[in-house]
């Protein structure tokens, strides 16, 4: 439903992602060379890269090519186990989650990318402090112990708190001789926990080769990942065009233009939308039938109908606050000296359309379609 946006340049993002594996990348490449030599002798693997860095940061269409090639090759169980051991998601999962939570990488993780109706978030102490320096200056002893990942002793914590009044910048903290580290501040992670899943769009069980690939990850809610999608792909796992078109990580993904929400009435009613909710249902129209596979897989129509009161309230508001009524309210306010209350401002205050989009709120797509 929601396309993945990569706000950092792909070049910088890819470089930062590879740094997760930096110390081990050479060894991983050597292991992959051995495995690749085994499979290229017997199997058609021309679309699978022999460069492990490319596998880690390849764009989504290239990942689909590798996925289809791997699926067709029917790699034997013994070699597949070697591949699983090399591309071990469980081993790197904490670092990958940290990567998605790191503010420098600028991922906007607020709402599930599959359903658009569940909040997902990264949380920790970051919401309480402006930055690392502010944290060092004001954090409690327990917070310092939790968020400085060095297993610091009480004596070291006391040294930090005794000296922090003299800290005028983060360098003063870094220069404090309390443990061996050139850049102590870089070890502090203020976002330590998360409430989201990282789904493998192309299932890592079917293709362990892509278990660590950056553009195979979709931040989503546990309902979509663990209960509904599970090991499925969105679309046929043999059709390249479908797989590319239906993935939120693909440049070609455009759910917004191809699916529209509307409210249908079962019978004519003049009592108002909220007074007779049973008379209405939410319908999702797919202008491209391929997107029905996404709607059906995540049971979107059923799930949105459970929350149809949200749409019915919007329709009630639209009925009460027509363009003419908003114009009248604006004129009255401006005549009494409230010049900032333009028609656009009043519309936004009532419906919150821009706030919902910019703030990445749940039900944003539903709201946008209902207000069209």
Q: Where are the alpha helices (H) located in 58-178, listed in sequence order?
A: 60-73, 77-86, 89-101, 132-138, 141-147, 154-163, 170-174
Cα-flanking dihedrals φ and ψ of residue 130, to 5°? -70, -40
The answer to whether 178 and 157 have CB atoms below 8 angstroms apart is no
Element (H, E) at 259: strand 259-265
Helix and strand counts by DSSP (H, E) for the chain: 20, 6
- Nearest of 161, 109, 140, 184 to residue 360 by alpha carbon: 109
- 76: which DSSP letter? -
DSSP conformation letters of 175-206: TSTTSS-S-GGGG--S--EE--EEEESS-TTT
The answer to whether 139 and 164 have CB atoms below 8 angstroms apart is no
pLDDT in tens, 126-170: 667 777 888 888 888 888 777 776 677 888 888 888 888 888 888
The answer to whether 210 and 200 have CB atoms below 8 angstroms apart is yes
Give pLDDT, residue 268.
66
Compute, in degrees rounded to 10, the torsion defined by CA atoms 54, 57, 59, 61: 60
- 218: which DSSP letter? E
Angle (CA) 60 61 64, round 5°: 90
- Report, as ranges of residue numbers, the positions in the chain whose pLDDT lies below 50: none
Give pLDDT, residue 5.
93
Q: How far apart are CA 275 and CA 312, in angstroms?
A: 9
Give pLDDT, residue 180.
63
Give pLDDT, residue 182.
60
Q: Which residue has the tokens 């070890």?
A: 187
Q: How far apart are CA 113 and CA 120, in angstroms?
A: 9
Any residues with CB less than 8 A from the CB of 147 and at least 6 apart, and which?
A: 124, 125, 135, 139, 188, 189, 190, 192
- The burial of 193, by beta-carbon neighbours within 10 Å (0-12 exposed, 13-18 middle, 19 or more buried), is given as exposed
- Nearest of 369, 353, 350, 370 to residue 361 by alpha carbon: 353
Instruction: Specify the pTM.
Output: 0.83
Any residues with CB less than 8 A from the CB of 45 and at least 6 apart, and which?
A: 36, 39, 69, 70, 73
Q: Where are the alpha helices (H) located in the chain, listed in sequence order?
A: 10-18, 25-42, 52-57, 60-73, 77-86, 89-101, 132-138, 141-147, 154-163, 170-174, 222, 240-245, 255-258, 292-297, 300-306, 308-320, 323-335, 343-351, 353-358, 364-371
And the tokens for 102? 């790191």
And the tokens for 318? 């639209």
Give pLDDT, residue 193.
63
Give pLDDT, residue 147.
73
Q: Work out the number of other CB atoms within 10 angstroms of the CB of residue 31.
A: 16
Cα-flanking dihedrals φ and ψ of residue 260, to 5°? -130, 135
pLDDT in tens, 318-356: 999 999 999 999 999 988 888 889 999 999 999 999 999
């Amino acid at each position: 439903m929601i396309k993945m946006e990569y706000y950092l340049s792909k070049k910088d993002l890819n470089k930062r992602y590879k740094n997760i594996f930096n110390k081990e990348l050479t060894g991983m490449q050597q292991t992959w060379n051995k495995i690749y030599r085994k499979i290229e002798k017997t199997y058609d693997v021309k679309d699978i890269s022999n460069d492990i860095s490319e596998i880690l940061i390849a764009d989504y269409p290239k990942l689909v090519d590798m996925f289809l090639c791997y699926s067709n090759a029917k790699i034997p169980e013994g070699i597949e186990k070697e591949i699983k051991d090399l591309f071990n998601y469980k081993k790197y999962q904490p670092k990958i989650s940290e990567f998605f939570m790191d503010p420098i990488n600028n991922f906007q993780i607020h709402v599930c990318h599959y359903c658009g109706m569940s909040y997902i978030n990264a949380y920790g102490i970051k919401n309480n402090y402006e930055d690392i320096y502010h944290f060092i200056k004001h954090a409690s002893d327990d917070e310092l112990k939790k968020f400085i990942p060095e297993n610091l002793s009480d004596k070291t914590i006391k040294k930090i708190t005794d000296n922090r009044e003299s800290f005028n910048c983060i360098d003063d903290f870094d220069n404090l001789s309390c443990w061996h580290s050139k850049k102590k501040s870089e070890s502090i992670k203020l976002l330590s926990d998360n409430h989201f899943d990282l789904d493998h769009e192309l299932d890592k069980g079917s293709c362990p080769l892509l278990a660590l690939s950056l553009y195979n990850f979709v931040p989503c809610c546990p309902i979509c990942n663990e209960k509904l999608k599970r090991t499925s792909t969105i679309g046929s796992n043999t059709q390249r065009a479908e797989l590319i078109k239906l993935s939120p990580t693909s440049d070609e993904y455009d759910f917004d233009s191809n699916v529209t929400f509307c409210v249908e009435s079962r019978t004519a009613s003049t009592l108002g939308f909220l007074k007779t909710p049973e008379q209405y249902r939410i319908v999702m129209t797919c202008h491209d039938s391929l997107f029905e596979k996404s709607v059906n897989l995540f049971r979107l129509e059923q799930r949105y109908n459970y929350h149809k009161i949200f749409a019915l309230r919007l329709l009630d508001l639209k009925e009460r606050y027509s363009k003419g009524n908003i114009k009248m309210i604006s004129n009255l306010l401006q005549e009494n000296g409230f010049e900032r209350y333009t028609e656009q401002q009043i519309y936004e205050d009532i419906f919150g359309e821009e706030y919902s989009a910019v703030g990445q709120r749940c039900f944003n797509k539903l709201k946008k379609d209902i207000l069209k």
